[in-house]
Amino acid sequence: MQTDPSPRREIGVFDSGVGGFTVLHELREQLPTARLRYLADTAYAPYGNRSPDEIRARSMAISEHLIAQGAELIIIACNTATAHAIEALRARWPTLPFVGTEPGIKPAVAATRNGRIGLLATPATAASARLRALIERHANGREVVVQGCPGIVDHIEAGDLDSAELRSLVARHCEPLRAAGVDTALLGCTHYPLIEPLWQAALGPDVKLLRIETAVARRAVDLWTPASDSPALHIETSGDPAALRTWIERVLGWREPDVRSWPAAL
Ligand code: DGL
């Protein structure tokens, strides 16, 4: 592993791939002077189909790298990694703050009028004990319909945000939420806001969609003491840097992003 000879204070951000850019965008809005490093673990995406052990091992290796580069705060811009790894990360680095990304059950409970909430997430998040506990703690008697959504992240990683195939997959995953008559739905994966219009179209205009990135960035603001450093953004990937560069230019509209390679193997 390559280590910067003189690491500087940074905020490290990671996701299995491009989903965490939805969180990164908010972080840049709310902490415009921070030095940020974003790691996309593209070679191992999607995490949602992986075992808890694999997700934990990847999260550990990535955090070790981010810390070696100077991270003094780590944002887990991934619901799946938060569900399966945040406790292990905090146990291993007890003095380093980790901010997780988790579906906002409390805001959904406040928003619902009919008491029925939908939650769209990756299969691994949907199956996690941490999500079950979160719902038990905060649902307050409301019904929460949890739907694991295999396949969605693969489309988004490939740059497909609008194909007929993706639309029908989205519609299929939304069917149980429609059948339950939810009036509020949580996007429980950081990739999902990138196709928000598709979820809205499948669920209908009366269903309120809730996202979490703004709240995650607000938590980072609480924990971060801004320095006089000049802002910086380093983007790294365990996959193909050229492919990620193209994705960023095409989907996010950033020009000539600097994307470096980070060796994937554990
Ligand atoms: N974006 C991630 C999440 O919030 C992971 C998606 C995946 O890799 O399956 O869960």
197-241: pLDDT as tens digits: 999 999 999 999 999 999 999 999 999 987 777 889 999 999 999
4, pLDDT greater than 70:
no
Distance CA 32, CA 45 (A): 28
188 lines ligand 1 (CB under 6 A): no
Ligand 1 atom 2, closest CA: 78
- Extract the tokens encoding 56: 């934990």
Domain 10-101+214-261 fold is Rossmann fold (3.40.50)
Provide the CATH topology of domain 105-211.
Answer: Rossmann fold (3.40.50)
* Number of neighbours of residue 24 by Cβ within 10 angstroms: 24
Whether residue 16 has its Cβ less than 6 Å from ligand 1: yes
The C-alpha atoms of residue 176 and residue 252 are separated, in whole angstroms, by 31
Does the pLDDT value for residue 264 go beyond 80? no
**Confidence grade of residue 252 (pLDDT, cut at 50, 70, 90):** very high
| Ligand 1 atom with the shortest distance to the CA of 123 | 9
Mean pLDDT within 145-158: 98
Total count of residues recorded for the chain:
266
- Predicted pLDDT at 266: 61
Distance 47 CA to ligand 1 centre (A): 6
> Which of 40, 33, 5, 20 has its CA nearest to residue 264?
40
For 50, left (φ over 0), alpha (ψ -120 to 50), or beta? Answer: beta
Going edge to edge, which strands form the sheet with 208-210? 143-148, 116-121, 184-187, 208-210
**Mean pLDDT value across residues 86-96:** 98
In whole angstroms, what is the distance from residue 208 CA to residue 225 CA? 34
Query: Band of the pLDDT at 6, cuts 50, 70, 90?
Result: low
189 is catalytic: yes
**How high is the pLDDT of residue 74?**
98
> With contact defined as beta carbons under 8 Å apart, do 166 and 191 qualify?
no
Residue 223 in tokens:
């924990």
Measured in Å, residue 201 CA sits from the centre of ligand 1 at 22
The ligand 1 atom nearest the CA atom of 189: 4
Whether residue 78 lies in the annotated active site: yes
List the catalytic residue out of 11, 34, 66, 78: 78
CB 130 within 8 A of CB 136: no
Q: How far is the CA of 5 from the centre of ligand 1 (A)?
A: 32
How far apart (Å, rounded) are the C-alpha atoms in residues 242 and 137?
43
Within the chain, all domains assigned CATH 3.40.50.1860 are found at: 10-101+214-261, 105-211
Nearest Cα neighbor of 220 from 64, 32, 6 is: 32
The binding site for substrate consists of: 15-16, 47-48, 79-80, 190-191
Q: Rounded distance, CA 193 to CA 52, Å?
A: 24
pTM above 0.85, yes or no: yes
Residues with Cβ within 8 Å of residue 167, at least 6 apart in sequence:
198, 201, 202
CB-ligand 1 contact for 46 (6 Å cutoff): yes
What mean pLDDT comes out for the span 36-58? 98
